[in-house]
Amino acid sequence: MVRKIVLSLAMSVDGFISDLDGGFDWIAGDGDNTQNTGNQWNYAAFLEGIDIVVMGKNCYDQKMHEDFKDKKIFVATSNPLTDYDNIHFISGDICKPILKEKILKGKDIFLFGGGLTIDSLIAADLIDEYIIGIVPIILGKGRPLFAGSNPTIDLKLDTYSISNGVVVLYYSKRQGN
Protein backbone atom coordinates (compact mmCIF):
# COMPACT_ATOMS: atom_id res chain seq x y z
CA MET A 1 0.00 0.00 0.00
CA VAL A 2 1.24 3.44 -0.91
CA ARG A 3 1.11 5.90 1.93
CA LYS A 4 -1.61 8.51 1.43
CA ILE A 5 -1.82 12.21 2.28
CA VAL A 6 -5.25 12.80 3.77
CA LEU A 7 -6.94 16.11 4.45
CA SER A 8 -9.64 15.88 7.09
CA LEU A 9 -11.51 18.83 8.51
CA ALA A 10 -14.84 20.54 8.90
CA MET A 11 -16.00 23.47 6.83
CA SER A 12 -19.13 25.60 6.72
CA VAL A 13 -21.45 25.39 3.70
CA ASP A 14 -19.73 28.54 2.47
CA GLY A 15 -16.27 27.02 2.75
CA PHE A 16 -14.76 28.39 5.96
CA ILE A 17 -12.68 26.28 8.34
CA SER A 18 -12.51 28.79 11.17
CA ASP A 19 -14.04 32.14 11.92
CA LEU A 20 -12.06 35.36 11.45
CA ASP A 21 -10.54 34.99 14.92
CA GLY A 22 -9.53 31.39 14.26
CA GLY A 23 -12.42 30.10 16.40
CA PHE A 24 -14.29 26.82 15.93
CA ASP A 25 -17.29 27.15 18.25
CA TRP A 26 -19.64 27.27 15.24
CA ILE A 27 -18.72 23.66 14.42
CA ALA A 28 -21.81 21.86 15.66
CA GLY A 29 -24.73 19.85 14.37
CA ASP A 30 -28.26 21.08 13.76
CA GLY A 31 -29.80 19.05 16.58
CA ASP A 32 -31.59 16.69 14.23
CA ASN A 33 -30.41 13.09 14.00
CA THR A 34 -33.11 11.83 11.63
CA GLN A 35 -30.74 11.94 8.64
CA ASN A 36 -27.94 10.04 10.38
CA THR A 37 -26.36 7.26 8.35
CA GLY A 38 -25.60 3.78 9.64
CA ASN A 39 -21.89 4.26 9.14
CA GLN A 40 -20.45 7.11 11.16
CA TRP A 41 -17.25 9.10 11.06
CA ASN A 42 -14.89 7.46 13.54
CA TYR A 43 -12.03 9.81 14.41
CA ALA A 44 -10.31 7.28 16.69
CA ALA A 45 -10.29 4.67 13.92
CA PHE A 46 -9.06 7.29 11.45
CA LEU A 47 -6.16 8.20 13.75
CA GLU A 48 -5.20 4.51 14.01
CA GLY A 49 -4.33 4.69 10.32
CA ILE A 50 -2.13 7.79 10.72
CA ASP A 51 1.44 8.17 11.94
CA ILE A 52 2.31 11.66 10.71
CA VAL A 53 0.32 14.83 11.36
CA VAL A 54 0.98 18.06 9.45
CA MET A 55 -0.15 21.40 10.86
CA GLY A 56 0.62 25.10 10.67
CA LYS A 57 2.29 27.14 13.39
CA ASN A 58 -1.02 28.67 14.50
CA CYS A 59 -2.45 25.23 15.23
CA TYR A 60 0.73 24.37 17.13
CA ASP A 61 0.51 27.59 19.14
CA GLN A 62 -3.02 26.57 20.09
CA LYS A 63 -1.45 23.31 21.39
CA MET A 64 -3.35 21.16 18.91
CA HIS A 65 -0.27 18.96 18.55
CA GLU A 66 -0.86 17.69 22.09
CA ASP A 67 -3.65 15.48 20.77
CA PHE A 68 -1.10 13.49 18.75
CA LYS A 69 1.62 12.52 21.22
CA ASP A 70 2.20 9.13 19.61
CA LYS A 71 2.68 10.55 16.11
CA LYS A 72 5.38 12.40 14.24
CA ILE A 73 4.29 16.01 13.83
CA PHE A 74 5.39 18.40 11.12
CA VAL A 75 4.80 22.05 11.96
CA ALA A 76 5.01 24.52 9.09
CA THR A 77 6.52 27.77 10.30
CA SER A 78 7.93 30.86 8.65
CA ASN A 79 10.75 31.09 11.23
CA PRO A 80 13.12 28.15 11.83
CA LEU A 81 12.66 26.55 15.28
CA THR A 82 14.43 23.71 17.05
CA ASP A 83 12.85 20.27 16.84
CA TYR A 84 12.05 18.41 20.06
CA ASP A 85 10.44 15.09 20.94
CA ASN A 86 7.95 14.26 18.16
CA ILE A 87 7.81 17.84 16.85
CA HIS A 88 9.58 18.68 13.58
CA PHE A 89 9.51 22.29 12.45
CA ILE A 90 9.66 23.01 8.74
CA SER A 91 10.39 26.49 7.48
CA GLY A 92 10.10 26.98 3.78
CA ASP A 93 8.53 24.52 1.36
CA ILE A 94 6.33 22.06 3.27
CA CYS A 95 5.72 19.84 0.23
CA LYS A 96 9.22 18.41 -0.17
CA PRO A 97 9.61 16.93 3.33
CA ILE A 98 6.11 15.45 3.12
CA LEU A 99 6.84 13.88 -0.25
CA LYS A 100 10.07 12.50 1.22
CA GLU A 101 8.04 10.80 3.95
CA LYS A 102 5.44 9.59 1.51
CA ILE A 103 7.86 7.30 -0.30
CA LEU A 104 8.93 5.70 2.99
CA LYS A 105 7.00 2.85 4.56
CA GLY A 106 4.40 3.93 7.08
CA LYS A 107 0.81 4.75 7.81
CA ASP A 108 -1.04 7.63 6.21
CA ILE A 109 -0.20 11.32 6.62
CA PHE A 110 -2.90 13.51 8.17
CA LEU A 111 -3.08 17.06 6.91
CA PHE A 112 -4.68 18.71 9.92
CA GLY A 113 -4.57 22.45 9.13
CA GLY A 114 -4.42 25.39 9.03
CA GLY A 115 -5.37 27.12 5.88
CA LEU A 116 -1.98 28.23 4.56
CA THR A 117 -0.40 24.83 5.13
CA ILE A 118 -3.28 23.06 3.45
CA ASP A 119 -3.23 25.52 0.60
CA SER A 120 0.36 24.64 -0.28
CA LEU A 121 -0.59 20.97 -0.53
CA ILE A 122 -3.76 21.59 -2.55
CA ALA A 123 -1.90 23.94 -4.89
CA ALA A 124 0.69 21.22 -5.50
CA ASP A 125 -2.13 18.65 -5.92
CA LEU A 126 -0.47 16.35 -3.37
CA ILE A 127 -3.58 15.36 -1.42
CA ASP A 128 -4.80 11.81 -2.05
CA GLU A 129 -7.98 11.93 0.01
CA TYR A 130 -10.23 14.78 1.09
CA ILE A 131 -12.50 14.02 4.06
CA ILE A 132 -14.66 17.11 4.46
CA GLY A 133 -17.35 17.51 7.08
CA ILE A 134 -19.91 20.05 5.93
CA VAL A 135 -21.30 21.88 8.95
CA PRO A 136 -24.92 23.06 8.52
CA ILE A 137 -24.19 26.77 8.70
CA ILE A 138 -23.44 29.67 6.40
CA LEU A 139 -20.72 31.24 8.48
CA GLY A 140 -20.64 34.40 6.37
CA LYS A 141 -16.99 35.21 6.88
CA GLY A 142 -13.90 33.45 8.13
CA ARG A 143 -10.78 31.65 6.97
CA PRO A 144 -11.48 29.70 3.78
CA LEU A 145 -10.39 26.12 3.06
CA PHE A 146 -9.75 26.88 -0.59
CA ALA A 147 -7.70 29.89 -1.56
CA GLY A 148 -9.42 30.38 -4.89
CA SER A 149 -6.41 29.93 -7.14
CA ASN A 150 -5.92 26.19 -7.12
CA PRO A 151 -5.53 23.77 -9.99
CA THR A 152 -8.65 21.89 -11.09
CA ILE A 153 -8.74 18.50 -9.34
CA ASP A 154 -11.32 15.88 -10.30
CA LEU A 155 -12.60 13.96 -7.29
CA LYS A 156 -14.46 10.72 -6.74
CA LEU A 157 -16.99 10.35 -3.95
CA ASP A 158 -15.89 7.18 -2.16
CA THR A 159 -18.47 7.27 0.61
CA TYR A 160 -20.29 9.60 2.99
CA SER A 161 -21.70 9.70 6.48
CA ILE A 162 -24.11 12.00 8.26
CA SER A 163 -24.39 12.79 11.94
CA ASN A 164 -26.54 15.51 13.48
CA GLY A 165 -26.82 17.42 10.21
CA VAL A 166 -23.06 17.31 9.54
CA VAL A 167 -22.40 15.62 6.19
CA VAL A 168 -18.97 14.01 5.88
CA LEU A 169 -17.88 13.53 2.26
CA TYR A 170 -14.97 11.19 1.55
CA TYR A 171 -13.31 12.01 -1.75
CA SER A 172 -10.23 10.64 -3.45
CA LYS A 173 -8.52 11.98 -6.52
CA ARG A 174 -10.28 10.62 -9.55
CA GLN A 175 -8.10 8.24 -11.52
CA GLY A 176 -7.67 8.28 -15.25
CA ASN A 177 -7.91 12.00 -15.78
Given the rule CB under 8 A, which residues bind a second copy?
13-15, 26, 30-32, 35, 122, 130, 132, 134, 136-141, 144-146, 148-160, 162, 165, 167, 169, 171, 174
Cα angle 68, 161, 120 (rounded to 5 degrees) comes to 50
Quote the least distance from Cβ 14 to a second copy, whole Å: 4
Report how far residue 89's alpha carbon sits from residue 76's, in angstroms, rounded to the nearest whole number: 6
Q: Which is nearer to a second copy, 26 or 41 (CB)?
A: 26
Q: Which is nearer to a second copy, 80 or 151 (CB)?
A: 151
- Residue 157 contacts by C-beta under 8 Å, 6 or more apart in sequence? 169, 170, 171
Quote the least distance from Cβ 5 to a second copy, whole Å: 15
The sign of the dihedral angle between the CA atoms of 77, 133, 5, 95 is negative
Q: Which is nearer to a second copy, 64 or 165 (CB)?
A: 165
Q: Which is nearer to a second copy, 76 or 118 (CB)?
A: 118
Report how far residue 5's alpha carbon sits from residue 98's, in angstroms, rounded to the nearest whole number: 9
